[in-house]
Amino acid sequence: MSENDSAFPAAQAQCLMWITPRPEIVFASGEGSWLTDEAGKRYLDFVQGWAVNCLGHCHPAVTHALAEQASRLVNPSPAFYNRPAMELAEGLVAHSAFDRVFFANSGAEANEGAIKLARKWGRKHRRGAYEIVTFENSFHGRTLAAMSASGKPGWDTLYAPQVPGFPKARLNDLDSVRALVGPTTVAVMLEPIQGEAGVIPATDAFLRDLRRFTEQEGILLIVDEVQTGMGRTGTLFAHEQAGVAPDVMTLGKGIGGGVPLSALLARESACCFEAGDQGGTYNGNPLMTAVGTAVLDVLLAPGFLEEVRAVGEHLGARLRELSDALGLAGERGRGLLRALLLPDGRAARCVELARDRGPEGLLLNAPRPDVLRFMPALTVSRQEIDLMIDWLRETLPLAG
């Protein structure tokens, strides 16, 4: 590649609709925990597409499944069965508390499906109940209903008026949930860990109490595991660590290992869609679901999730050491979804300095001004974690 070829293509970039500031970097390739841009600079990636690339960049299982399936069948229409979709559904059912699966393309779409399923269930089984209690600072996606369900500050006015029916409780506060549940309530929906809020976990005790409460009230419990699912917290699904069995679960991000795939899973008692109620042109196409099966097979291989838990503990320990050494505010999270808490609003500046450092860069995420979030590949090594910590130790004082 010539020097001119590696120059930033400003004219091409202007053809993309502007939605957010982007650095003038064009990524060209990736492998494992590393990305390489068109200028040849390498970056240690602790964002991985916001926890999407659960096996890292271009994992052989993903690339092989894509190539093999693409040569056979890409999209016969969701009006027909295809073998990869049935195999992935069977695998998810076999390793979860759920009985049926609907495949979609994004986490927001899966959450929309969960909302629709709950409202249909309320119409059939709870005298038309439609309200779903969600939580302050939650994040469920960027469609109108998912944004209305979310408790992200400012979203209540961004595309007002909101879709009604989503009163907001406080995470880890069962009394705040009780106060909102009434005759029109059909479900409670939450993330086991609020990622966009800064990696704030629901406690195991809260999840257990919430499950008992929803069962007593005869309403559904929906867990949004778009970010926490598929091994991210050290078990296949985060709610398993609390020993609860929800009625409905949504998956996205990691389920496709980098390709657009998500899923809505439900217990038989919650399944109530009728013909025409739900669908999608690309939903469950064999190209994506073949990759999903390959990802699931890797995650379920002997010892894989145990190693995720061990490496996650290593990341947590190193973040705590760094926090203590630099006088920061601690860390939180589970598995390989963690946050470093800063004493001030330097997080965005730290992201910028880490990315621009040389000769190699570091990719981080700042969901809040005083929080750095870490979502590395589940295959990240201890050595790569240690390297990230070393670079972060250099960067944090400069950002302050």
Cβ-contact 286, 80 below 8 angstroms: no
Cβ-contact 107, 253 below 8 angstroms: yes
Residue 342, number of CB atoms within 10 A of its CB: 23
Could you tell me the end-to-end alpha-carbon distance of the chain, in angstroms, rounded to an integer? 37
Residue 263, number of CB atoms within 10 A of its CB: 30
pLDDT at position 250 is 98
Residues in the chain with pLDDT < 50?
1-3
Q: Which residues contact 260 (CB under 8 A, 6 or more apart)?
A: 105, 106, 282, 288
Q: Nearest 5°: CA angle at 238, between 284 and 282?
A: 10
Can you tell me whether residue 320 is helix, strand or coil?
Answer: helix
pLDDT at position 53 is 98
Instruction: Count CA atoms closer than 13 A to 326's CA, side-chain side.
Output: 26
Cβ-contact 114, 252 below 8 angstroms: no
Closest to 222 (Cα-Cα) out of 255, 180, 185: 185
For residue 238, the Cα-to-chain-centroid distance in whole angstroms is: 11
pLDDT at position 400 is 81
Structure-block tokens of residue 380: 């990240």
Cis peptide before 359 (omega within 30 of 0): yes
pLDDT at position 345 is 96
Q: Which residues contact 16 (CB under 8 A, 6 or more apart)?
A: none
For residue 267, the Cα-to-chain-centroid distance in whole angstroms is: 21
pLDDT at position 1 is 46
pLDDT at position 7 is 86
Pairwise CA distance, residues 348 & 359, whole Å: 21
The widest CA-to-CA distance across the chain, in whole angstroms, is 68
Output 326-333 pairs: Cβ under 8 A, ≥24 positions apart.
326/393, 326/396, 326/397, 328/396, 329/370, 332/199, 332/200, 332/201, 333/193, 333/199, 333/201, 333/374
Residue 307 dihedral angles phi and psi, to the nearest 5°: -70, -35
Can you tell me whether residue 311 is helix, strand or coil?
Answer: helix
Residue 183 dihedral angles phi and psi, to the nearest 5°: -60, -25
Pairwise CA distance, residues 291 & 281, whole Å: 18
